[in-house]
Amino acid sequence: MSNLKAPDLSGKSILLIEDNILIAMEVETALEEAGAEVHLCTTIGAGISAIRERPVDFLLTDHMLTDADSKCAIAAAIAHGVPYAVLTGYDFAPDDPSVAGAKIFAKPCPADEIVAYIEAQLAGAASQRSE
């Protein structure tokens, strides 16, 4: 029996921008099992619209999609005060200014690691707001 508690993202809204359907389904399922409401977009354009149209607690975005790279979505997240992380199957410099300070998950990455990271980030943000 494990002493680890299951991740709890109840009441959190996660925007997932991912165009690989298998990865999107795996991550979406893991986030939903942790209690999150997931809004899945398969293009950067749709993701940017989603950030502007509804409250989002966290952005998880693929770095390179069919319509663009993640820079514009990250900029929109930053403008709205939304924490974010990046998924990628490509090698790119972590010192790229567009992803400075972002957690970068190399694909394939176990969905439970992503969920745990998001939970920790949102818990940290909540504790900072209450101080």
pLDDT in tens, 2-52: 556 778 999 999 999 999 999 999 999 999 999 999 999 999 999 999 999
Instruction: Please tell me the pTM assigned to this model.
Output: 0.87
Backbone angles phi, psi at 21, to 5 degrees: -60, -35
pLDDT for the residue numbered 126: 57
Task: Give the residue among 56, 64, 65 at the shortest CA–CA distance from 36.
Answer: 56
Cis peptide before 108 (omega within 30 of 0): yes
pLDDT in tens, 58-113: 999 998 888 888 888 888 898 899 999 999 887 665 566 666 677 889 888 899 99
